Amino acid sequence: MSAPTRSEYRTVIVGAGVIGLYTAYYLARAGAGPILVVDRGFLSSGASGRNGGGVRQQWETRATVRLARESVGAYRRFARDFGVNPWFRQSGYVFLAENGAELERLRRVHDIVASEGLPSEILDSSRVARLVPGIAPEAAVGGTYLSTDGTLYPFPVVWGLYEAVRAMGTEVLLGAEALGVRSTDGHLTGVATTKGTVATSTCVNAAGGWSRDFSERAGLTVANAPTRHEILATEPLKPFLDPMVVRARDGLYFSQTMRGEIVGGLSPPSQNPATSAMSSSPAFLARMAGALVRILPSLASVGVLRAWSGLYDDTPDGLPVLGEDSHLGGFIHANGFGGHGMMLAPSSTARVARMILGERVDLDPDEFGPQRFDGGQPSHATEALQLG
């Protein structure tokens, strides 16, 4: 499709990543069309095609644990629901603690996760060694483990959603940049794109790392900040590692794919501003290689096949922004997921769709609503486990 086929849509969604397409899916399934999804790039060109595929339920806030648990259920059903297999593998997540203080922090996370009915375990160093074969003895004094966490391949998820929404009549226009909005008396009336302007009363900002940019084009001030993170994949190795491994101290994470590659990343030493370049850097490769080898010395001679980068869409409190903007009626935020949009997409977007349909949802607006930043720093509990 090279241009919108209509002049007016019930909902326009900006961003054809996992958040935008999942939102479109729930709306289309409810018969709430016509729907137009626009994206400046190609399918999977954003963070939905640039992440490590982790899906975990170990979080510091109960609301996030509940969203993640629901998303795990959705990914377990994904192949049946969409006819595309994302190879969701529930091989667990191990969080590593290098000292007593870090282990105490993970114990608090464990207490919350376990109280939500999930089989979280506290590990001693010997149990860590059994779950992470070859780990250096000094790499961890203990940790936590949740066997129902897992990993998937992001591309089949995006493709399955794309095919599903199009089959239900949703228009997906790729290579079309959203330039801004039209409004009258504080209410949205249209969206302008490089392929023309369409009338609508509802626009969903699901632009991920570019969501702040689009909000500003709509005349809104938001707290989101895009940051650039990097990731790499090694040459294939004989399978030896089942869980995703995460170190809370510095955001190091890695897992082994079914092809045998070690895939992982590391939080930047400081906030990396967003850039249009999606390549990787020698500095990251050196830091990541050093961090991996200190944990798994056997990887010292393993070659790196490829490396790339993508954007996190961070918020000050580590929670996504979900809901209608109080300054522009009809402008709906579905962004601010940090690096965890794939992880939380099924459950979060189901609620965004219900908001658009005028239904009540079980999200506290003081935790997730865009207005929580109007008065400065929010007073509620923050989600600091934004890694891996």
pLDDT at 377 over 80: no
Q: Number of helices (H) and strands (E), helices first, in the chain?
A: 9, 19
Give the confidence band of 137 by pLDDT, cuts at 50, 70, 90: very high
**Mean pLDDT, the chain, integer:** 95
Mean pLDDT of 118-129: 98
Nearest Cα residue to 204 out of 26, 382, 5, 372: 26
Of 151-155, 273-277, 294-298, 310-314, the poorest mean pLDDT is in 273-277
Domains of the chain and CATH, by start: 11-49+155-224+317-373 (3.50.50.60), 89-149+225-314 (3.30.9.10)
Give the confidence band of 374 by pLDDT, cuts at 50, 70, 90: confident
This model's pTM is above 0.75: yes
Give the confidence band of 127 by pLDDT, cuts at 50, 70, 90: very high
pLDDT at 248 over 90: no
pLDDT in tens, 53-70: 999 999 999 999 999 999
Task: For the chain, give the percent of residues with pLDDT over 90.
Answer: 91
pLDDT in tens, 162-195: 999 999 999 999 999 999 999 999 999 999 999 9
283: left (phi over 0), alpha (psi -120 to 50) or beta: alpha
Q: In what order do the strands lie in the sheet with 225-234?
A: 120-124, 142-146, 93-97, 244-247, 252-256, 262-265, 225-234, 304-314
Mean pLDDT of 214-242: 96
Of 251-265, 286-300, 367-381, the poorest mean pLDDT is in 367-381
Separation between Cα atoms, residue 153 and residue 157, nearest integer Å: 7
pLDDT value at residue 259: 95
Mean pLDDT of 242-268: 95
pLDDT in tens, 259-283: 999 999 999 887 666 565 577 899 9
Mean pLDDT of 123-149: 98
Mean pLDDT of 362-374: 93
CB 92 within 8 A of CB 121: no
pLDDT value at residue 244: 98
Separation between Cα atoms, residue 196 and residue 2, nearest integer Å: 11
Separation between Cα atoms, residue 212 and residue 160, nearest integer Å: 27
- What element of type H or E holds 335? strand 331-335
CB 322 within 8 A of CB 379: no
Task: Output the CA angle 215-52-275, nearest 5 degrees.
Answer: 40
CB 50 within 8 A of CB 374: no
CB 14 within 8 A of CB 38: yes
Characterize the bridge pairing of strands 35-39 and 150-151. unpaired
For tokens 């590692």, name the residue.
Answer: 241
Separation between Cα atoms, residue 283 and residue 307, nearest integer Å: 12
pLDDT value at residue 298: 97
